[in-house]
Structure 1
Amino acid sequence: MKNLSKLFVIVLMMTSVTISAQKEFSLLSPDKKIEVKVSVDEKIEFSVLKNSKALISPSPLAMNVNANVMLGVNAKVKNTKTNSVNKILQREVRQKSKEVRENYNELKINFKENFALTFRAFNEGVAYRFETSLDGDMKVNSETYSVNFAGDYLSYFPEEESFMSHNERIFNPIMLKDIKEKQFASTPTIIDTKEGTLIAITESDLEDYPGLWLKGTAQNSLTRIFPAYVLDAQLKRDRDLMPTKRAEYLALTKGTRTFPWRIFAITNNDGDLITNEMVYLLSKPNQLKDISWIKPGKVAWDWWNFNNIYNVDFRAGVNTETYKYFIDFASKYGIEYIILDEGWYKLGDLLSIEPEMNVQEIIDYGKQKNVGVILWVVWKTLDDQLQPALDQFEKWGVKGIKVDFMQRDDQEIVNYYWKVAREAAKRKLLVDFHGAFKPSGLFRAYPNVITNEGVKGLENDKWESLVTPEHCVTLPFTRMFAGPMDFTPGAMVNVTKASFKPMFTQPTSMGTRCQQLAMYVVYESPLQMLADNPTNYYREPVCMEFLSKVPSVWDKTIVLDAKIADYVLLARQSGNDWYVGAMTDDKARDFTVDFSFLDEGSYSADIWQDGINADRNGNDFKKISVEVNKATKLNIHLAPGGGWAARVYSK
């Protein structure tokens, strides 16, 4: 018996040593296809595999804080905790769906140095974050974030020139080894292994910390670069607050906190990037008790079309009569909002209205017509007058604000987004951030943040020729992965790529009319713009049949066929109706639409398709109606730069 007791003690000691000395950890996704491996030794490294094939080779993680304290170097494991979650969430504001499945396995490694690393493995990808438990306030000097890939993969790299940026970039395909050390990009950035796997890199729950950017290494890796804390800045015009001196640290923040999630979405199906919800799932939960007042919808926008209405008996421009005309148009077609963009107030003072504008009269007129008014503002002016301006907007009956020209995502500006979202919500105001960095979870924490620019959208057609059909079919897999995307579609004058010329006051779009219509199905934005002027829309009643009915939020999304930078074909459900949208790059394409997503029964399908001459004249389209059911397989043709849109409803 004495010998048995000795043996038990020896086994217990061996077991304890094994547990306390463990330096290798493994975490599997619920479907066991994705594995995260974590190694803790002199440094902490993680690697990622899918189906036992390495995608990310061992890559270091660390954080330098306070007086050069390295969290993650010679760190000692204190304990670990695991957790699994599998539940259905109801979206506060529908985007791609009204329900989201949250299903992941979690590993949290607590270290004796008062920090932790949490890893989550989803079937759709992996993520990790730092967490610190330090007394008082903390200075973050740097964060070690390098991603070593298992091969020389292709990157869709939205290269930037400066941290002062609208983050409106082209996603240039470039091999990792060809990205030099001086080249850097905003996120999301997409990696294509060219062996059937895509990896989307971005972040979520970004708060009180600078945004993540990536730079090249001339090797099979990307490393981090962050905009440092701003010490001094110079204001140019009323909107461009240009940093003139930056600190040698990233952030001054609380010592006890969580840090942003570093996301790696992983898929063998390009279309899965469109339905991926990891940014939403890793965001801070909704902070608002009452969200019943948050109303998604479409909005008639003035700035892109330069208020170039015609066939009216008043002078068009930034004046009361013009906006009443916009309201009449919106009311006729059931469009929920109009925007008063730049020009309604005297720049530099939100409380000083231009004499040709009677904002209260416009808002009251809109109320009579069931059309809400959203006001454009320069972010810096709003910051200077935040409380009195928002109080005045609430008094007027404004429904939302479009906040423009931040152009930064250092700690100060990231915090500004949260402040505006919070203060706007107190007054039941929607927020649309323009001149903005990518969505990083704020749209869940504050659902009144209804949409977000940070995309090279239609407005660029006013001054350059970069919004090509190829760019337009790249966006659903890249920028839109991060969250709502205010591309501002809806051009009613459409030309081929060869014929396109930028025009500021009378802009056109590159590609076909039906590609513009399809964007309302393909592009996700709970506040969806109609960018052209009402007179042009009045001239196109057949297109308005579609634009007046297409929703801006969805109950379900099914990607039918998709290839990054080439084409997309998807179906979205809203109530009992389905909408189908297809877009192609510069190549004509043929698809077969499989309607097996429908329930039993007969349906009518109203279809807007490229006309026979759309390859020569982008305005050419044809509307047809056919009967379909779940057994229907319909052949469709898209012209170069073309599109296809359908509304499917019960007979």
Structure 2
Amino acid sequence: MKYMYLIFCLLISTLFTINAQEIVSPNKKIKVIVSQKEFNEKPYGQVYFKILYKNKLEYIEVMPNSPMGIYREDQQFTNNLKFVGESKMQEINQKYEMISGKRKLCANLGTEKVFKYVNSNNKPINIAFRVYNDGVAFRYEFTEKTDSLINITDESTTYVFPPATNRWLQTYTESYEDFFPFSDTGKSDKDKQEWGFPALFKINNNPVWVLISEANISKNNCAAKLNNATNPNEYKVSYASPRDNFKQTGVKTNLPWRSQWHTLIIGQLSDIVESTLITDVSEPNTLTETNWIKPGAVSWIYWAYNHGSKDYQKVVAYTDLAVEMNWPYLLIDWEWDAMSNGGNITDAANYAKSKGIKPVIWYNSGTSWLEPTPVDRLLTAEKRAEEFAWLNKIGIYGIKVDFFAGDQQDMMKYCIAILKDAAKYKLMVNFHGTTVPRGWARTYPNLMTTEAVYGAEWYNNKPVLTSKAAVHNTTLPFTRNVIGSMDYTPVTFSNSQHPHITSYAHELALSVVFESGFQHFADRPEAYINLSAEPKEFLKNVPVTWDNTKLLDGFPGDKIIIARKKAKQWYLGGLNGKDELQTLKINFDFLDVGNFKLKLIKDGLDDKSFGVEVIKVKKGDILNIQCLPRGGFVAVLEKLSTMKN
């Protein structure tokens, strides 16, 4: 038996040869090894990639050999590839500015290499890799030119993880409105082992995290999801499934063609939260004029009444709330086309403008859930032109478009067409009931925010958020909100259909912890107007877009402390995700030299009261804050001026 085993090992070694190339990040911490396994010395085989991360002095294997490849209806590019060449290593070094998001000044800094292959029919395919200091991106490229449409149907791309890897994954749903529960098995209680992006992994007992998503989707792409039905530790990329009235699988396109960028943000938890990799790899801003794009806080009518905006008097009340709270925008939600009780949509827009408030209005995309009106005003370029011209005429500044039908190619085309056409009429956009962010906020900066989250709106629909909110809120900053603005509709103190059990300070902190270019504050006017002076003043002034973001402490589902900078001030938000008292510790090492005044608003004696402190701190100080169960805090840091002798 021993000799048979040795013969078997020898046979295997002759069947496979490995052709390996390395790409390393600029800071040398991340290394990608691309290899090809060839069967029995034949030149055709499967391409694999492996990822290593340097922790202190040694490299840790983050992802073992993981298969690559893509299928077309006419032929495959999977286990039948032959290596024919590679590009020179190229430095990617591009600085750009974001209008909204976690960081204003960003750097697309990485190392790129393109590997060239042909399949057994001698048809070419390239695989382009970029390795960044905080992650890896790769895409497939078909370089030949065709006049006829080619159907690209699926991928064999699979992310392989070591056993016992911890993970926080959302079961795939087209609305991306679900939770990210912890698992160390990768198994789902649903029929399908399908998962949506982004997907968070912690590699065994190592201090290395990976967040998988995708970016730079164009009209020639569909969105993808993950499936680990074959092996719980192997996550295969799958394209959007056909739907009833759209039978297409995958993408139909002329060649040449590029896939979306497959992205893996890699590093410590702070690297994950602070990363801008999704916009780094996306196409630059396509708009020549952007000074009309202004992120801001919004008063929103729907949440408190679980209904639309057909009552003119309620629209007036929320306009007055925006004035009271110094919020620049008012969102008039569904049913505005049936507005009565004293005025119509034009009257409402005129009232808002008379008070210095900019109105935004809601649309049904006309592709999915068709009951809420107005429906079918945006489906074609001609209809959009007519509607957007009318919006300009009555003084509307943005649109919220809801109820898209899924992740198929036609929905990607539709979203991009809306963004382009809205920009022609200087309209900002909020997408709801749609796919997660995939880099469009850089390419089309009039995209202010996207829902694709199980947000506070769900207090209206089911009781489940009541008990899960604290854990969920302390998971989202490490998952969904990493990849782009998130329209959670936070900071609600009163109850809608189902109650809160998060503290008032926890709710207040969501205004900092959650990033969104349009931050919709959804509660009743009296809930904000009757706040005590300090939290009310905080909500009047808290920014919605940031110059810089830093994770100070945290763990998914447990706690988070995040610091965001705007001009010369730092805003801090902290959340306790536990159902018990927890002390959150702020380490002020992130500060510059000098003394700072910290104004702290934290949990009071009970979950519906606040405590306020003003403290002097400096770099290197540590402050312990005791939080109630499901509690939290906010703080504002301002540097104290120094007097010269």
Once the 2 structures are TM-superposed, how far is the Cα of residue 482 of structure 1 from its aligned partner?
1.6
Report the identity percentage.
Answer: 26
Kindly report which structure 2 residues correspond to 1:37-56, keeping only aligned pairs within 5 A, or say none: 37-40=33-36, 41=38, 42-51=45-54, 52-56=59-63
Corresponding position of 1:7: none
Corresponding position of 2:564: 572
**Structure 1 length normalisation: TM-score?**
0.86
1:471 aligns with 2:472: yes
1:594 aligns with 2:587: yes
1:173 aligns with 2:174: no
| Partner Cα separation in structure 2 for residue 599 and residue 82 of structure 1 | 41
Once the 2 structures are TM-superposed, how far is the Cα of residue 648 of structure 1 from its aligned partner?
2.0
| Partner Cα separation in structure 1 for residue 101 and residue 30 of structure 2 | 27
Distance 1:330 1:355, change over 3 A: closer
Is the 2:309–2:334 contact (alpha carbons within 8 Å) kept by the matching residues of 1?
no
**Alignment match of 1:98 (pick from 104, 122, 130):** 104
| SS at 2:378 equivalent | helix
| Partner Cα separation in structure 2 for residue 575 and residue 531 of structure 1 | 27
Is the 1:566–1:585 contact (alpha carbons within 8 Å) kept by the matching residues of 2?
yes
| Partner Cα separation in structure 2 for residue 170 and residue 607 of structure 1 | 30
**Alignment match of 2:597 (pick from 599, 604, 607):** 604
1:145 aligns with 2:157: yes
Corresponding position of 2:482: 481
Once the 2 structures are TM-superposed, how far is the Cα of residue 318 of structure 1 from its aligned partner?
3.0
Kindly report which structure 2 residues correspond to 1:199-348, keeping only aligned pairs within 5 A, or say none: 199-207=210-218, 208-216=220-228, 217-230=230-243, 232-233=244-245, 246-247=247-248, 249-267=249-267, 269-306=268-305, 318-346=310-338
Corresponding position of 2:9: none
The one-letter code of the counterpart of 2:204 is K
Is the 1:588–1:638 contact (alpha carbons within 8 Å) kept by the matching residues of 2?
yes
| Partner Cα separation in structure 2 for residue 619 and residue 200 of structure 1 | 35
Corresponding position of 2:616: 627
Is the 1:345–1:354 contact (alpha carbons within 8 Å) kept by the matching residues of 2?
no
Is the 2:112–2:129 contact (alpha carbons within 8 Å) kept by the matching residues of 1?
yes
The one-letter code of the counterpart of 1:365 is Y
Once the 2 structures are TM-superposed, how far is the Cα of residue 631 of structure 1 from its aligned partner?
5.2
| Partner Cα separation in structure 2 for residue 166 and residue 544 of structure 1 | 33
Is the 1:27–1:37 contact (alpha carbons within 8 Å) kept by the matching residues of 2?
yes
| SS at 1:376 equivalent | strand
Distance 1:317 1:477, change over 3 A: closer
Corresponding position of 1:498: none
Corresponding position of 1:383: 378
Distance 1:354 1:209, change over 3 A: farther
The one-letter code of the counterpart of 2:617 is V
Which piece of structure 1 moves more, 467-476 or 144-153? 144-153
Once the 2 structures are TM-superposed, how far is the Cα of residue 276 of structure 1 from its aligned partner?
1.0
1:57 aligns with 2:64: yes
Distance 1:511 1:407, change over 3 A: farther
| Partner Cα separation in structure 1 for residue 306 and residue 32 of structure 2 | 53
| Partner Cα separation in structure 2 for residue 320 and residue 57 of structure 1 | 60
**Structure 2 length normalisation: TM-score?**
0.86
The one-letter code of the counterpart of 2:67 is P
Once the 2 structures are TM-superposed, how far is the Cα of residue 469 of structure 1 from its aligned partner?
0.2
Is the 1:271–1:563 contact (alpha carbons within 8 Å) kept by the matching residues of 2?
no
| Partner Cα separation in structure 2 for residue 343 and residue 623 of structure 1 | 41
| Partner Cα separation in structure 1 for residue 71 and residue 385 of structure 2 | 37
Once the 2 structures are TM-superposed, how far is the Cα of residue 355 of structure 1 from its aligned partner?
7.5
Corresponding position of 1:562: 554
Corresponding position of 1:514: 505
Q: How far does the alpha carbon of each residue in 1:154-182 deviate from its partner, in whole angstroms, 9 at most, with x for none?
A: 2212013x5xx311111122234535883
1:183 aligns with 2:193: yes
| SS at 1:593 equivalent | strand
The one-letter code of the counterpart of 1:167 is Y
Corresponding position of 1:311: none
Kindly report which structure 2 residues correspond to 1:22-37, keeping only aligned pairs within 5 A, or say none: 23-37=19-33
| SS at 1:126 equivalent | strand
Which piece of structure 1 moves more, 69-78 or 130-139? 69-78
1:534 aligns with 2:528: no
| Partner Cα separation in structure 2 for residue 275 and residue 630 of structure 1 | 20
Is the 1:403–1:432 contact (alpha carbons within 8 Å) kept by the matching residues of 2?
yes
| Partner Cα separation in structure 1 for residue 416 and residue 630 of structure 2 | 38
| Partner Cα separation in structure 2 for residue 150 and residue 307 of structure 1 | 45
The one-letter code of the counterpart of 2:573 is G
| Partner Cα separation in structure 2 for residue 525 and residue 338 of structure 1 | 15
Corresponding position of 1:9: none
The one-letter code of the counterpart of 2:97 is R
Which piece of structure 1 moves more, 372-381 or 83-92? 83-92
| Partner Cα separation in structure 2 for residue 48 and residue 359 of structure 1 | 55
Corresponding position of 1:397: 395
Distance 1:91 1:334, change over 3 A: same
| SS at 1:82 equivalent | coil
| SS at 2:98 equivalent | coil
Corresponding position of 1:10: none
Please provide the CA RMSD for this pair.
Answer: 2.2
The one-letter code of the counterpart of 1:340 is I
Is the 2:595–2:618 contact (alpha carbons within 8 Å) kept by the matching residues of 1?
yes
| Partner Cα separation in structure 2 for residue 317 and residue 256 of structure 1 | 47
Corresponding position of 1:441: 439
Is the 1:299–1:335 contact (alpha carbons within 8 Å) kept by the matching residues of 2?
yes
Is the 1:458–1:509 contact (alpha carbons within 8 Å) kept by the matching residues of 2?
no
Once the 2 structures are TM-superposed, how far is the Cα of residue 37 of structure 1 from its aligned partner?
1.1
Distance 1:462 1:55, change over 3 A: same
Unpaired segments of 5 or more residues in structure 1?
1-20, 234-242, 309-315, 347-352, 495-502
| Partner Cα separation in structure 2 for residue 513 and residue 251 of structure 1 | 47
Is the 2:309–2:333 contact (alpha carbons within 8 Å) kept by the matching residues of 1?
no
Distance 1:81 1:619, change over 3 A: same
Distance 1:592 1:186, change over 3 A: closer
| SS at 2:420 equivalent | helix
The one-letter code of the counterpart of 2:502 is G
| SS at 1:552 equivalent | coil
Once the 2 structures are TM-superposed, how far is the Cα of residue 59 of structure 1 from its aligned partner?
1.6
Is the 2:98–2:105 contact (alpha carbons within 8 Å) kept by the matching residues of 1?
no
